[in-house]
Structure 1
């Protein structure tokens, strides 16, 4: 009788334990399956948002993979915790491993972090003319570790992303219009009004220069050897250098035609002869 009673107790305990752990196992599987589905959905959404923002394909793939891996780590830890496994030690191990890898790859990870910032804030895009990281050129590529520039003389410069994000970034292509500034000097003996009127006519004749805002010409300085004019106009960003160089050439040619001098620094040297018998 006692043996039958003990067997009945053992069977009941086993059934109870089986039900308890079975429910935990089912719960863990449900957490894993649903969590994996959510992780995939979030990753897919992030990828679509980045692709819609015209982010580089390499960065889209990298960030998507990184987000998915991090989400799956959270899901697996939650599933193990539901089974009753103490995940504190796992978190500590992952933290220690992450710290070791971070210290070993500190420079590389800083570039990856900078790439993420470039993605989020988008101070420039491929095709923009940018000055950053001590380099000025057209952005050809933004990858996980570096930004690749093509300079005006057709050199390829690879700049680490940490250097790009760590300093000033000047994006010359961000706006559709730019202001062109010049300083022109004439001699003190030249006709001031004629020179000003000539500059205004040169600027008004160039169709690339906007009429609104109107070109601005004014006397800016009475220098040591010249009277200086400042001239400012607005143009499309793509016309900047063409207008800049063409105008300098036109000013020199037309000033020569009208007899307006463009002075250069001069120095008068006086020699005193010693007096005889001194």
Structure 2
């Protein structure tokens, strides 16, 4: 029984890993539940969904760091890997450049609030200028819904770096109407 939660043994490390995983799952579920309870009381949920996703990532990351610090073999492995972390960080940084750019751009969208959930915007899309409603601002993408019900996913880095026209309700209604047929005479 003494070895069941002893981090120096394999069984203890696996048992602690299971406990930490369950704790992380419960904490992440609590973050989601708190988000659902707070959302109806807010007039603008733009930052809430973003903060919820970021909070869940932080829960898993924090739980893993605590677990790795508790298990001596993982601490030793971490020290050995620290010597090669500079090369690995450069490779990961280059490989994840777009992803990290989208994350930073998402933080910028939430912080400066150029658009909010429920706003109607015009953005440039491959098919031309698209008028759509902002449905969700997530860590990497902004989700829009156009008048035809199509979902448009725009990377946050594109939302920050391109010109986005925010429309009033009247302008959005006019822009989402199909053009009237012309009569040749």
Question: Is it true that 1:115 corresponds to 2:95 in the alignment?
Answer: no
Query: Quick one: distance in 2 between partners of 1:84 and 1:140?
Result: 44
Matching residue of 1:5: none
* Larger helix proportion of the pair: 2
Q: Using the TM superposition, give the Cα deviation of residue 161 of structure 1 relative to its aligned residue in structure 2, in angstroms.
A: 0.7
SS of 1:25's partner is coil
Shift of the alpha carbon at 1:39? 3.1
Distance in 2 of aligned mates of 1:70 and 1:166: 30
Give distance in 2, aligned partners of 1:150 and 1:70.
32
Structure 1 unaligned residues grouped into runs of 5+: 1-18, 174-237, 243-278
CA apart distance, 1:70: 1.5
Aligned residues: 158
Name the counterpart of 1:67.
58
2:158 equivalent in structure 1: 163
The change in CA–CA distance for 1:24 and 1:129 in structure 2 (over 3 A counts) is closer
CA contact (8 A) 1:149 1:156 kept: yes
Determine the C-alpha separation between the residues in 2 that align with 1:119 and 1:126.
10
Give 1:133 shift: 7.9
1:140 Cα shift? 4.3
User: Which stretches in structure 2 are left out of the alignment for 5+ residues?
Assistant: 40-44, 174-185
Which structure carries more relative contact order (alpha carbon 8 Å, separation 6+)? Answer: 2
What secondary structure, in the 3-state scheme, does the structure 1 residue paired with 2:154 have?
A: strand
Task: State the Cα deviation string for residues 14-72 of structure 1 (Å, max 9, x = none).
Answer: xxxxx9xx96638867865664455334423332344444569x978964663344224
Larger-gyration structure (1/2): 1
Alignment map for 1:50-61 (pairs within 5 Å): 50-51=35-36, 52-53=38-39, 54=45
Query: Would the aligned equivalents of 2:120 and 2:134 in 1 still touch at CA under 8 Å?
Result: no
d(CA) in 1 for partners of 2:96, 2:74: 35
